[in-house]
Amino acid sequence: MPEFSEFCDDYAPSSDLSSVVKRVKVQSPIFYNNLRGVSIVHGHIDSLSPKLREFVESNVELCRPSHVHICDGSEAENTKLTRLMVSQGTLRPLPKYKNCWLALTNPKDVARVESRTFMCTRNRSETVSKTRAGAASKLGNWMSLEDMQLAIKERFPGCMEGHTMYVIPFSMGPVGSPLSKLGVEITDSPYVVASMRIMTRMGSQVLKALATNCDFVKALHALGRPLGKTHENPSWPCDPERTIIMHNPEANEIVSYGSGYGGNSLLGKKCFALRIGSCIAKKEGWLAEHMLILGITNPQGVKRYIVAAFPSACGKTNLAMLQSSLPGYKVECVGDDIAWMKVHPRTGKLHAINPENGFFGVAPGTSTETNPNAMKTVFSNTVFTNVASTSDGGVFWEGMEKELPPGVSITDWHGKAWNKSMGTTAAHPNSRFCSPANQCPIMDPAWEASEGVPIDAILFGGRRPAGVPLVYEAFDWDHGVFLGASMRSEATAAAEFKGKMIMHDPFAMRPFFGYNFGHYLQHWLSFKDRPNIQLPKIFHVNWFRKNDQGKFLWPGFGDNIRVLDWVLRRVEGDSESAVKTPIGYVPAPGALNLEGLQENIDLQQLFHLPKDFWTQEVEEIGRYFEEQVGEDLPKPVAAQLEALKARVTSL
Ligand code: SAT
Ligand code: MN
């Protein structure tokens, strides 16, 4: 046995799950290969550090699986699991492509379930702000630690009986980077294993790293197969009525039950990298954000990196893989969903890493026209979920009409024959591709750089059909933080919401805050006071403004480079290119490069600031802050609102 105590001086038996289960005592060498008669079918229990071993043992005791499989992330393991899933009906082969698979979920398990997602802390005030009496918090659901234990007790005992428990060691960020963090997810879903292998660095290298680093986030996931209940859909077990996703930031622990879908079950993504991540970041003085990261090289050869926060399903992946319509510009992708940013001790700049290793992108709307680089990424080594399939062994979704070979027939995401006249969509609006990042032809050479990439600009944005101009720039850091705080966007299919209501989504983090939003704002503001800091400039963008006829005023996609070009010129200090308005700086007449655009752009409408709209917007933001943040709203943010209110009177 290796001597782990040499490395792991913080090792102590955890108080979390072991309070609901009796700790298993290691007694004899035979036990190392056998947990209470549960056979280890893959991997070696005695290769685990004591803390990890205890995590596995206590969950074996709780969930009572028949087998334990410690994942090594190898090709052979993946092939075996894929075969298993095909035999169980969870995956179907897509012979048109190389190593691509289709999963069709239970129709009740198709998106993140925000109403059943909780942060669990001692005091409610750690999680949610002091909301106005009676107002429900829309910025996070709180649960006590006692209720969390109760919820576990009600769901987990014996929940893996007859099934295999997989132990997934994973790293968020390149293994060994000072910005990365380790995690271990326990799950009974081979689909989760296959997806985590794409979305994170997973397997033996991480197990090795875990042997010398005791610090890991513990994630427990079970599909939920209520005992004695027969499943309507055995190829996609889940327990939608009792689904729950809980986070305990004090213990760095995530527990998820009842859903096999994306953000509910791939626990490295939203649960770890954003919710638990933002808590760790606050403690350690950095930022964990719902942001894409991209690099842009201009025609003069100057390269800069930017990050952008848009809510789920608002085009982060498209922007991250942008193919420039302006000659001479090159965009390269670092990440499409999450950025971890730390102040670099030498440069004083925020340096960002993408903690993920793959893309879990929305399929519908992705096409050669909207995102050619995604189309070059997703047709090998990909797990598709809830897209439609074609009679030639391929996939189809809304937006792929032009790529469909003649004569092929379509089967929709329910597995039923489909044609357009039926009035339904072939693919679920939140259907996804899960693809390795390194297949993207424009991955940035520094995308796995251990020290991250230096950030020069932060973009906030959302879907705003009315009132909000294409782009504007914050006056300073505090104003920029206010822009993030007051973000709003039309609802998308990424969660359970229906309809097209405009929702507040501060920093695009509304479903992902790990702690009190007032404290989060304070944390953002505090970066201004760091010694030698070189803060990025902050902008707000809106590709989605429409005219009175409901037509988009801006072509978007590849033409968004024109906005990035202006942003970069502002970063370089080009003062001629902007004019001041009551809401921020906008491009001066002629400053936005529209050369070569096919259509006529109505710049007048695109940048118009209607007084009644902005008066209402200010009122609505004020109402929201009062209701949702209350006393926790930092004074500088309240002052920004007052200043905006005064400025819009002059519109
Ligand atoms: O379902 S996920 O949370 O993984 C994707 C998203 O909402 O952005
Ligand atoms: Mn996202």
Look at residue 213 in the predicted model and tell me its pLDDT.
75
Task: Report residues near ion ligand 2: CB below 5 Å.
Answer: 312, 337
Whether 71 is catalytic is: no
Residue to mutate, 105, 109, 112, ligand 1, most ligand atoms under 8 Å from C-beta: 112
Give the number of the atom of ligand 1 that is nearest the alpha carbon of residue 511: 7
Ligand 1, closest atom to CA 495? 7
CA 391 to chain centre: 33
Phi first, then psi: give them for residue 490, nearest 5 degrees: -65, 140
Per-residue confidence band for 410, with pLDDT thresholds at 50, 70 and 90: very high
Chain mean pLDDT for the chain: 93
Residues of the chain with pLDDT > 70: what percent?
A: 93
Q: How far apart are CA 246 and CA 169, in angstroms?
A: 20
Position 504 pLDDT exceeds 80: yes
What is the pLDDT confidence band of residue 9, given thresholds at 50, 70 and 90? very low
Q: Given a cut of 60, is residue 494 above it in pLDDT?
A: yes
The residues, ordered by sequence, that sit 6+ positions from 20 with a Cβ below 8 Å of its Cβ are 62, 149, 152, 153
pLDDT at 2: 39
CB-based pocket (< 6 A), ligand 1: 112, 262-263, 269-270, 312, 360, 494
Can you give the pLDDT at residue 232?
Answer: 66
Which pLDDT score is estimated for 231?
63
Concatenating the DSSP letter of every residue in 604-638 gives HHHH---HHHHHHHHHHHHHHHHHHTBTTS-HHHH
> 134-143, 155-164, 291-300, 477-486: which has the minimum mean pLDDT?
134-143
Spatial separation of the C-alpha atoms in residues 118 and 536, rounded to whole Å: 32
Q: Active site residue: 71, 120, 314, 440, which one?
A: 314
Tell me which residue has its CA closest to atom 5 in ligand 1: 263
Segment 252-291, tens digit of pLDDT: 999 999 999 999 999 999 999 999 999 999 999 999 999 9
Structure tokens given for 385:
């979920």
Atom of ligand 1 nearest to the CA of 270: 3
For 72, the 3-state DSSP assignment is coil
Banded model confidence at residue 412, pLDDT cuts 50, 70, 90? very high
Distances (CA, A) of 570 to 456, 563, 583: 10, 11, 16
Contact criterion met (CB below 8 Å) for 158 and 227: yes
Q: Across residues 296-302, what is the average pLDDT?
A: 97
Q: What is the pLDDT of residue 26?
A: 37
The pLDDT of residue 228 is 58
